[in-house]
Chain A
């Protein structure tokens, strides 16, 4: 499980996350919803170990994500953006490096498997400067999945992707969920969250305002769609 317990993050005078507590269960996709600046990315970066919480604790698979971040990362896949691919190494070389660092046993097999699974073979032997946005996304995802992690955290994975790429990503995430992976993803595309997530967490101004199924959220807000429910919720909070 991915667990946040009373997590707060303060930057100078800005409270980006305010005592967030939730659990993401194994074999589920949990969607993190919020407007720009609501604190989604801050929370995910805190799980990734790039930021330290001002208070509270985070754990992934029962291991403290702050104190034992290296141990946590061995079972965690992270995609926090499309940036960050090395410019002068081919995609395959980057996957091999990732597999080595994740201490994968059979590296060649792991790289071949993920290339086949994510359909990377057409471009993976080129350097990323020639990749399309979709190809970059798939390569980032492949790097995060090459060690078959039990936990996966994605920050706005559909950003910049076309319809086909989004459909492909949806298939992959569904497959991973069915394999028992615990997935936490953020997005502000309501349709995306609605179609793929088992549960949603709604954050507004750093506070968790809803934790549950999207249909319950719609009912609670008295709106027919997730988008309308979200807008209503944010308006109420304002």
Chain B
């Protein structure tokens, strides 16, 4: 059986390399993905140096309307929000009445974890200071007391969790890495099963003295090898490109070393194994080549869904069992020097490989079915 798999896998590679135009198109992602990520990251870094646009949320209070008006008069945007909306904004002002006086104390809170955030916080502080100064001047002018106590005071609070920009960069990085195996192997898998089936080549192969399991495994191994090579190339090129950017301005320190790249590939291997098996499952169970291509294209968007739904999925009881979610968490931890939960990593790898095995069993069953006879 090993010889059968070897010869059939070699056939898959010959077919793959022989069709160099499709191969070029598949590997286009290796160049385009990193280029897109580089452009996005460059733009974010450039924004750090630009004058910040402030969007300040002011929590409901009788002074809130005056603060908003001041901010807007200075060309920035502001809105009055309720306490429950606080988490949705980077810069928030909360006014609290001072005890035993008529004065108000303003709390300005924001992140200072990057150059950009720090800059925004400083600009907001300056803007609100200006407001406090004006208000106090009016208060002093109308006051008859010789010992004037400022009516409004201000204090600054910083919170340094992952800020929105860091999160966006990490999310984009995750999407672009996790999409690589989907996009690179899509055409190969749909052609080697759906295409060959419609051309009668799959039936002809199954007429040889080989087991259907050998045919499935040969195609699978060729697909996984292609997915891993493509993912490795995408990852290396992408990280090399954005590694040269001054990401520290975003308060971001990407750990890009050969060791982290190899670790990322090792971490992604069970995931690539699952993707190729799922693609084969779709290609083989779809009624036609066209139908399989449509479903496979839709499957390629799964990483986006996972990245944006991550917070919600994570909250589920068995969230850590879901492959894409774990791959994403593991990679984020790997590149940002956070602690990796190895137990969850193992669970994710086992889940990926188990699902891949189940998908391949269905492919094998389909290959043995009589449906193949109608294409010859």
Chain A residues in the interface with B (C-beta under 8 A): 45, 48-52, 70-71, 73-74, 78, 80-81, 83-89, 93, 97-98, 100-103, 127, 143
**Distance in Å: Cβ of B209 to nearest Cβ of chain A:** 4
Chain A residues with CB under 8 A of B11: 86, 89, 97
Which A-chain residue is minimally distant from B208 (CB atoms)? A101
Known interface pairs A84-B200, A85-B201. Does A78 touch B207 (Cβ–Cβ under 8 Å)?
Answer: yes
Q: Are A70 and B376 within 8 A (Cβ)?
A: no
Which A-chain residue is minimally distant from B372 (CB atoms)? A50
Q: Are A87 and B207 within 8 A (Cβ)?
A: no
15 A-B pairs with C-beta separation under 8 A = A50-B203, A70-B211, A80-B203, A80-B204, A83-B199, A83-B376, A84-B203, A85-B201, A86-B15, A86-B201, A88-B14, A88-B19, A89-B11, A93-B14, A101-B7
Chain A residues with CB under 8 A of B10: 97
Q: Are B199 and A84 within 8 A (Cβ)?
A: yes
Q: Are A49 and B207 within 8 A (Cβ)?
A: yes
Chain A residues with CB under 8 A of B370: 50-52
Chain A residues with CB under 8 A of B4: 101
Q: How far is the CA of A158 from the CA of B56 in the complex (A)?
A: 81
Chain A residues with CB under 8 A of B375: 83
Chain B residues with CB under 8 A of A86: 11, 14-15, 196, 201
Chain B residues with CB under 8 A of A89: 11, 14-15, 18
Known: A74-B209, A81-B200; 8 extra A-B contacts, CB below 8 A, are A45-B376, A48-B207, A50-B376, A83-B204, A88-B16, A97-B10, A97-B11, A102-B209
Chain B residues with CB under 8 A of A103: 209
Chain A residues with CB under 8 A of B8: 101
**Distance in Å: Cβ of A136 to nearest Cβ of chain B:** 12
Q: How far is the CA of A178 from the CA of B208 in the complex (A)?
A: 25
Q: Is B373 an interface residue (CB 8 A)?
A: yes
Q: Are A127 and B18 within 8 A (Cβ)?
A: yes
Q: How far is the CA of A73 from the CA of B199 in the complex (A)?
A: 22
Chain A residues with CB under 8 A of B200: 81, 83-84
Q: Is B206 an interface residue (CB 8 A)?
A: yes
**Distance in Å: Cβ of A121 to nearest Cβ of chain B:** 20
Chain B residues with CB under 8 A of A80: 203-204, 207, 376
Q: How far is the CA of A93 from the CA of B373 in the complex (A)?
A: 25
Q: How far is the CA of A72 from the CA of B213 in the complex (A)?
A: 18
Q: Is B210 an interface residue (CB 8 A)?
A: yes
Q: Are A50 and B206 within 8 A (Cβ)?
A: yes
Chain A residues with CB under 8 A of B196: 86
Chain B residues with CB under 8 A of A73: 207-209
Chain B residues with CB under 8 A of A78: 207
Q: How far is the CA of A214 from the CA of B355 in the complex (A)?
A: 57
Chain B residues with CB under 8 A of A45: 373, 376
Q: How far is the CA of A71 from the CA of B211 in the complex (A)?
A: 11
**Distance in Å: Cβ of A149 to nearest Cβ of chain B:** 10
Q: Are A98 and B208 within 8 A (Cβ)?
A: yes
Q: How far is the CA of A93 from the CA of B7 in the complex (A)?
A: 11
Q: Are A100 and B7 within 8 A (Cβ)?
A: yes
- The 8 A CB mask of B107-131 against A (1 = contact, 0 = none) is 0000000000000000000000000
Chain A residues with CB under 8 A of B19: 87-88
Q: How far is the CA of A73 from the CA of B204 in the complex (A)?
A: 12
